[in-house]
A and B are shown apart, each in its own frame.
Chain A
């Protein structure tokens, strides 16, 4: 299908984009790489009166390293992040997960912030942000705020972002000493939406697991320092709490089983990597 008509604003500065949002509120949609928005427009699931293109805003193109965080601005494409030299040493989880985001052909255009704004429950970038306890920096014409990723995603493609706000950047905490990371995903084919995706962070023996594709948003659980059957029990409880549903791709039961098995696998892998880093 084709998009319904809309006015197109090519913003040259952040202020211009924010002014458009202030004026049109929920009738406007920000477009960055367009890889999540265009399918919504084509299928007419979104019919904004105004589309605001932010890709010409020079200030939103390059990442920044701040203390303890790698900050990806609204215009930064997924391919650019994946090609960033040293990403694996800065934010290892992101470098593990990005190859799973769509395909080469969509990563070339799609942005990190766009994926976060879209908030698909099976998307990998929101999952990483939640696993790492990252944050989302929001901006409107009148204010600036930073929201913890875990509070930003509130439901199925629903976020805490107000209609007059846009995501200016997202901040990924960088690697900490003695910490290991792992990522795994099961889908029908590589690049399809995840049936379940698991991201693990193990820091000084304390385990944290985030799961995407199962609940209505990416959700994380701090599991402490468990092993053996205690870990299995904790994973089982988490799997049930995610409220998995049946769809054409997988049953709820299969999804729960993936959380138990894949979850354990990534936690063990992350723990092993943490140990190796300690030793190094």
Chain B
């Protein structure tokens, strides 16, 4: 049994986007804040902080989850992926991200990181998703800008491109959207 004192900071070790990471946190610190303030990974956004909006969605052990409903101390040893892990290289977009750009699937971008993480996890497990499946996944997110239609179109096109069904747009061909391999 380990017991972590409320008033102290404790080291939590985990894997972040494929690399070992450590962060020092009080037990009450949310994973959103540990990522953003503790590690400077500000790609993960914070909207409602009670699990409703989906902005903070990241991948924990391969499944999309709310970082704002996760204590940082609880992720000891876990595999965490954030939007920073999606691009094949700094300044390059992954397949899904490039499809978002082509389809104008974002405007303000506040919801985008979370939606990308949910879709990335889904497309990895279900490479040939139906429109209904995508709608179901997006149902866990709020976007106040796009009206969702371009997001669905981008997701379906990215899925097709990753399966090799379409020509794609060059850049995106270089790598899959993520580091799942």
Contact = CB atoms under 8 A, between A and B. Distances in A.
A114 B36 CA distance: 28
Contact of A12 (B1, B26, B27): B1
Interface in B110-142: 118, 122, 136-137, 139-140
Interface string A186-205: 00011100000000000000
Interface stretch (A34-42, A121-129, A141-149): A34-42
Given A9-B1, A38-B51, A2 B33 contact: yes
A39 B1 contact: no
Interface in A98-122: 102-106, 108-109
29 contacts: A2-B28, A3-B28, A5-B27, A7-B6, A8-B3, A10-B3, A10-B4, A12-B1, A31-B71, A34-B70, A34-B71, A35-B51, A35-B69, A38-B68, A38-B71, A39-B51, A42-B49, A43-B50, A51-B27, A53-B71, A53-B74, A102-B51, A103-B139, A103-B140, A104-B140, A105-B54, A106-B66, A108-B60, A191-B140
Contacts of A55: 74
A182 interface: no
Contacts of B28: 2-6, 41
A105 B27 contact: no
Interface residues of B, number: 36
A16 interface: yes
Contacts of A191: 139-140
A104 B33 CA distance: 22
B73 interface: yes
A108 B117 CA distance: 13
Contacts, number: 114
Interface of B: 1-7, 26-30, 33, 49-51, 54, 57, 60, 63-66, 68-71, 73-74, 76, 118, 122, 136-137, 139-140
Contact of A108 (B5, B65, B68): B65
A7 B65 contact: no
A271 to B, nearest CB: 28
A38 B118 contact: no
Contacts of A190: 136, 139
Interface range, A side: 35 or more
Interface string A8-39: 11111100100000000000000100110011
A280 interface: no
Interface of A: 1-13, 16, 31, 34-35, 38-39, 41-43, 49, 51, 53, 55, 79, 102-106, 108-109, 189-191
Nearest to B8: A7
| A3, A8, A34, A79, most chain B CB atoms within 10 A | A8
A35 to B, nearest CB: 6
A109 B1 contact: no
B51 A104 contact: no
A109 B70 contact: yes
A39 B50 contact: yes
B63 A79 contact: yes
Nearest to B57: A105
A8 B63 contact: no
B30 A42 contact: yes
A8 B140 contact: no
A39 to B, nearest CB: 4
Complex A-B, nearest 3 residue pairs according to Cβ-Cβ distance, in ascending order:
A103-B140, A8-B27, A108-B63
A255 to B, nearest CB: 22
B85 to A, nearest CB: 17
A193 to B, nearest CB: 10
